[in-house]
Amino acid sequence: MRIHIIDPAFVQSVGHHVEWDLLIARELVKRGHEVQLFCNAKASAEAMQAFAKYGSANPLFQHFPYITPESPVHELSLFIDVGMNIEFQLRKLPPADLWLWPTMYAPDLLGCAIANAGVPISGFLHMEPSAILPYGDVWWEYAFKKADLVGLKLNLATTTRELGEIYSGFSPRRPIRCTPILQDGLLANAPKDQMRKVGIFGQQRREKGADLIPALITMLLAEGYEVVLQDSQGRPEISASPNLTTLGYVDNFAQEISLCDLILLPYDPDDYRVRLSAVAAEALASGVPVAAPAGTSIESLVRETGAGTLFSEHTAESILGAVADAKQHFTVLAEAAFKTSQVWSSKHGPSHFVDSLLEGRAN
């Protein structure tokens, strides 16, 4: 098939969008599909070069999705204006058998509905409707109604059941499916035998506990652990210590995670109530236990695998308590994480994920 990967937030050579788009493109090309990327007009040469091994990267879209307006009036204007701009750009695309949106937001769906190009669409929903636009529930409901009105051929999915239930409420005749997890990790050779090295990975932002990280590192070092702090935006600025390693963007994310004995996820539970964590998925797929926030979709993954501990409050003390629990029960957790790694590829990874996005299409 001729498949257009469409991602207005594909800009830099690091972060969620580039990582997801490259994994999906790699799997599609492996299956013999013809792939093109249509990305942000300001996409860096480095980012487009990274995609070039799979197909052409075409700068196109003028807007960037991660902008929160100052008022509801501005929010409505942004939703309509961006949707119409997307429709204008979509009409420039060459013929395709499928438009694939690895990350879709309400204005994207609106633009697709207005364009009504007759091309089947697969899209992926990562965050709750109001994550970027506070009145997102209203905009998503409108976009779904517009899509239903024109009979858009849609195949939408999420990686958490909770998120799927939220979006299915906007359009009951279009149930949103829960897909396998995209991340494939690194197959573990054996269970971890000691808990010496604690890793904190990912793009460090407020909702990922960035404000707590300095205190956590101080406390972990005082407890005698080695600590690895990675930030995909660039090497973190933090006081040096003999037992502290800092990393910026890494090419082989799973490899670095696999060198740790525990992955700490100091995330704000309110922000991860229904979202999945790619870092958690990479860790468990690589046979590394995690310490994660209770009351989140990540907790569901921890309970399913038995390969982690939970903290109930978003404080350094509560999070460190989850680390202490992991230390106390490490043999059991390490064995559970190892077993998870051994069976991960039978249920998750790029192949299963792409199968889901191509469901109903020749793949």
The strand ranges marked E within 197-298 are: 197-200, 226-230, 244-247, 262-264, 290-293
Q: What CATH number belongs to 197-347?
A: 3.40.50.2000
Q: Which residues contact 90 (CB under 8 A, 6 or more apart)?
A: 6, 99, 111, 112, 115, 117
pLDDT at position 68: 77
CA distance 76 to 94: 30
CA distance 159 to 217: 30
> What DSSP designation does 90 have?
H
Pairwise pLDDT comparison (129 vs 248), residue with the higher score: 129
pLDDT at position 18: 87
pLDDT at position 59: 96
pLDDT at position 359: 76
Helix ranges (DSSP H) in the chain: 16-30, 45-51, 72-90, 106-115, 136-150, 161-168, 213-222, 253-258, 278-285, 297-305, 316-328, 330-347, 350-357
Instruction: Report which residue type is found at 310.
Output: L
> What DSSP designation does 189 have?
S
Q: What are the start and end residues of each CATH 3.40.50.2000 domain in the chain? A: 2-182+348-357, 197-347
- CB of 288 closer than 8 Å to CB of 187: no
- pLDDT tens-place string over residues 164-201: 999 999 987 888 989 999 999 999 999 999 999 999 99
Per DSSP, the chain holds a count of helices (H) and strands (E) of 13, 13
Q: Treating both helix axes as pointing N-terminal to C-terminal, what angle do 330-347 and 278-285 enclose, rounded to 10 degrees?
A: 100
CA distance 255 to 5: 27
151: left (phi over 0), alpha (psi -120 to 50) or beta: left
CA distance 341 to 348: 10
CA distance 357 to 5: 12
> pLDDT band at 362, cuts 50/70/90?
very low
CA distance 59 to 54: 16
- CB of 244 closer than 8 Å to CB of 27: no
Q: Is 287 helix (H, G, I), strand (E, B) or coil?
A: coil
Residue whose C-alpha is closest to residue 65's, from 38, 98, 99, 103: 103
- pLDDT tens-place string over residues 198-223: 999 988 888 898 899 999 999 999 99
pLDDT tops 60 at residue 361? no
**Bridge partner list, 123:** 101, 156
What does the pLDDT average to over 110-131? Answer: 94
> What is 2-182+348-357's CATH superfamily?
Glycogen Phosphorylase B; (3.40.50.2000)
pLDDT at position 236: 64
pLDDT tops 70 at residue 360? no
pLDDT tops 50 at residue 363? no
pLDDT at position 234: 63
CA distance 122 to 262: 35
